[in-house]
Amino acid sequence: MIKFDQVSKRYPGSEQILRNVSFSIEPGELVFVAGASGAGKSTLLKLIAATERPTSGTVLIGNQNVSKLRAAALPFLRRKFGLVFQDHKLLYDRNCFENVALPLYINGITGHEAGKRIRAALDKVGLLGKEKAMPITLSGGEQQRLAIARAVVSRPSILIADEPTGNLDEGYAEEIMGIFYAFQQVGVTVIVATHDQHEIANSGARVLRLEQGTLTA
Ligand SMILES: Nc1ncnc2c1ncn2[C@@H]1O[C@H](COP(=O)(O)OP(=O)(O)OP(=O)(O)O)[C@@H](O)[C@H]1O
């Protein structure tokens, strides 16, 4: 479970970005984080992913209080997460297989086991035939699917996506959301930041709505 209790966040020198935000997300839920540009969506995701710490309040991931964790424990916590960003952050001088391989190699998983997992991840996003293709030769939607394969290859229990469909045509965006729902179906917790009302309206999923750093729904 992910639980925020009266969480506030201020960056060094900034004004208050999040104010007294409280909510919880159950394992296996799919939740949207909505709000206008600058409302604090990315900041909220960074607090969940433990790449930022709250200024005050408590962030619990599982049973772990992120503020109380030693720095050395953070890499272990972060293994729970798969991260997807609007701009993919793919490596354009590596092919699709190599892009997805990267998180495994960093964790010391190589050879046959790595190959098996990489192909399984590419298969889940419909890119199994594109192992040797360079990312630049893929469409925008395919590049985003490749970024999702890379995010899930380490089998995270929580998938966090920051505006993953922001740059995509509607058809591609629906495809991407379909992939997220498929991960939710197999028990992954999925958290998606978006300002696309259409995407939210069609989903029936729960929405955490931010307005100037305050949770309104
Ligand atoms: N590292 C930082 N240092 C200082 N201020 C920051 C930092 N990161 C974000 N901010 C500020 O926090 C506010 C909220 O930013 P955030 O990226 O969380 O909003 P957002 O809702 O995700 O916006 P967008 O939809 O435009 O990505 C903005 O005013 C931003 O300038």
Q: How much distance in Å is there from the Cα of 8 to the middle of ligand 1?
A: 14
pLDDT reported for residue 112: 96
Dist CA 179 CA 192 (whole Å): 12
Q: Whole-prediction pTM value?
A: 0.93
The helix (H) or strand (E) run that includes residue 176 is helix 170-185
Q: What is the ipTM of this complex?
A: 0.95
Mean pLDDT of the chain: 92
**Residue 78 backbone dihedrals phi, psi, to 5 degrees:** -65, -20
Tell which CATH classification among 3.40.50.300, 3.40.50.170, 3.40.50.720, 3.40.50.1820 matches the domain 1-80+156-217. 3.40.50.300
Strand-pairing partners, residue 30, are 190
Q: In a mutational test of the pocket of ligand 1, which residue from 10, 11, 15, 17 has the highest number of ligand atoms less than 8 Å from its CB?
A: 17
For the chain, the domains span 1-80+156-217, 92-154
Closest ligand 1 atom number to CA of residue 43? 18
Residues in CB range of 166: below 8 A, 6 or more apart: 86, 194, 195, 196
Closest ligand 1 atom number to CA of residue 52? 1
pLDDT reported for residue 133: 97
Dist CA 66 CA 63 (whole Å): 9
**Tens digit of each residue's pLDDT (9 = 90 or more) over 34-82:** 999 899 999 999 999 999 999 999 999 998 999 888 889 888 888 899 9
Q: Cα(first)–Cα(last) distance of the chain, in Å? A: 19
